[in-house]
Amino acid sequence: MGLTYKDSGVDIKKGDNFVNLIKEKLRKNEQDNIGLFGGLFSLNLDNYKDPVLVSGTDGV
């Protein structure tokens, strides 16, 4: 049998629980229209020349 998510340390049930917690927090902040695939960042970039922010997420 091949390597499973569980074998590699991924607990899908814990991940699902975490997603539900995030959804709950977003609802409390009236931000339920934001997808769970990105993030929001508040940055002070006054001291940077040509700043670039790269962000990504993966479901695994």
Reported as a single tens digit per residue, the pLDDT across 7-56 is 888 999 998 998 888 887 766 665 555 556 666 778 889 999 998 888 77
**Is the pTM above the cut of 0.85?**
no
Give how many domains the chain has, as a whole number: 1
Helices (H), the chain: 12-28
CA atoms within a 13 Å half-sphere pointing along the CA-CB vector of 27 = 6
Range of the domain at 33: 1-60
